[in-house]
Amino acid sequence: MKDFTKGNEARLIFNFAIPILFGSLFQQLYNIVDSIFIGNYVGKEALAAVGVSFPVIFALISFVIGIGSGATVVISQYYGAKDNFSVKKAIDTLYIFMFFSSILLSLLGILFARTIFELTDLPEEVIPQAVTYLQIYMGGNVFMFGFMGTTAILRGLGDSKTPLYFTIISTIMNIFLDWLFILVFEWGVAGAALGTVIAQGGAFFTAIFYLNRTHTIVTLHLKDLKFDKKIFMQSVRIGLPTGFQQTFVGLGMVALYGIVNQYGTETIAAYSVSMRIESVPAMLAMAFSAAVSPFVGQNIGANLNERVKTGFKATLLLSSLLTVIVTAAYIIFPRQIVSVFTNDAKVIEVGVEYLIIVAPFYITFNIMFVLNGVLRGAGATLIPMFITLIALWFIRIPASWVMAETFGRTGIWWGIPIGWFFGMGFAYIYYLTGKWKNKAVTRHNN
């Protein structure tokens, strides 16, 4: 566990962000490795099926993730206030919520998979494999939610290294299972999904086994779990806007695929590959956003507002530097990067086209996420929710749709950074108002 209320802000955030970043990258390797094996050994239809499944999965689970982020803020603020009794109650409440939510969402994903894909006008040759992948993946939700909940709890307490270790173990397991199920058993997309589910389950059970024997606060014993209504409502108050925001972001991703789907299987596959490639700069932004949130939460809880401002500046500088490096690599070597995922010439051509247009704007995406991390850490999530929804649904999606009508496929790609730019601008304007400083769970008499 880490106390963010003392010490050099930049060093604390960097040291905390790096394990999150590597953990996130290893977590994304589930998806990247799936896509590499599928694209090179199964085919572009299967590659498109796996790719189009992920925005659907994200849309289904993101509301629960949002509530979980609210619990993380509550945990970090109680920990900053040295109230370990409330920390323990918040942990129990999060686990109970995650379990029942995972069961409900598994049923929804399994029962309505085909209907969802048909509504997005997915080409008929892609639908059967997309349905198979989605149903198997969603069937393992209880393991995924369990591990995500454990990770969120530890990060709220200032521990980003422990989740990294278990994520590395599960990633190695997933790579082996992809090789076994896809190349040896030739199970295609079903093998990719099953390998991911087994790996996530392994990570969750291994983490709980370890924590139950070594940790004083984070333990999971089913008979001892107690649900605290007050803490749950605090988590909902903070996390509900984020949950709605993430859900509508997921639905926005599905809507964008609905536009992309009009251009055929090659374009769907290329866009899917681009999303895997884009996950690297996205993880950079998300890792530093996740790092700055508990930093802000603890310092708000300890009534150290000046450290919040300094921490924000340090986070922005560090994350922007790394984002620029990744962006340069993508612009210089786009063809080589896309070719890792597929040997289909048309898919490679479209993927390179996407990177050349969108990659130069990753810095905008990064700034937007860091700003949102600061606001969420303070507990101010309602305004950022509206900002994100406006930037996505009133700017990015309409811009992609209108520009696609005029410029064809490339118009879709140009609409994406336009949405990021407005989202960043709106978030920064709200940050400058300073109103987010008054949203903390804890109260101080100044």
What average pLDDT score do residues 157-179 get?
A: 86
What average pLDDT score do residues 205-224 get?
A: 79
Name the band, by pLDDT with cuts 50, 70 and 90, for residue 300.
confident
pLDDT 10s digits, 6-60: 888 889 988 888 887 887 788 777 778 889 999 999 999 999 999 999 999 999 9
Q: Which residue has the higher pLDDT, 431 or 221?
A: 431
pLDDT of residue 19: 81
pLDDT of residue 1: 59
Q: At what angle do helices 265-301 and 305-332 cross, to 10 degrees?
A: 160
pLDDT 10s digits, 251-284: 999 999 999 999 999 999 999 999 999 999 998 9
- Entry field: residues in the chain: 446
pLDDT of residue 439: 61
pLDDT of residue 277: 95
Question: Which value, to the nearest 10 degrees, does the dihedral of the CA atoms of residues 323, 278, 328, 38 take?
Answer: 140
pLDDT 10s digits, 320-348: 999 999 999 999 999 999 999 999 999 99
Give the lowest-confidence range in 68-77, 134-143, 264-273.
Answer: 68-77
Amino acid of residue 81: A
pLDDT of residue 171: 87
Q: Which residue has the higher pLDDT, 79 or 426?
A: 426
Rounded CA gap, 34 and 272, in Å? 12
pLDDT higher than 60, residue 442: no
Rounded CA gap, 229 and 246, in Å? 24
To the nearest whole percent, how much of the chain has pLDDT over 70?
98
pLDDT higher than 60, residue 299: yes
What average pLDDT score do residues 147-174 get?
A: 84
* Residue 168, φ and ψ in degrees, nearest 5: -60, -45
Give the lowest-confidence range in 159-163, 181-185, 204-208, 365-369.
Answer: 159-163
Whole-number mean pLDDT of the chain? 89
pLDDT of residue 229: 93
Question: Are 75 and 130 within 8 A, CB to CB?
Answer: no
pLDDT higher than 90, residue 184: yes
pLDDT of residue 419: 95
pLDDT higher than 80, residue 422: yes
pLDDT higher than 90, residue 133: yes
| Rounded alpha-carbon distances, angstroms, from residue 285 to 247, 289, 366, 373 | 19, 6, 5, 10
Name the band, by pLDDT with cuts 50, 70 and 90, for residue 444.
low
End-to-end CA distance of the chain: 28
pLDDT of residue 316: 94
pTM above 0.75, yes or no: yes
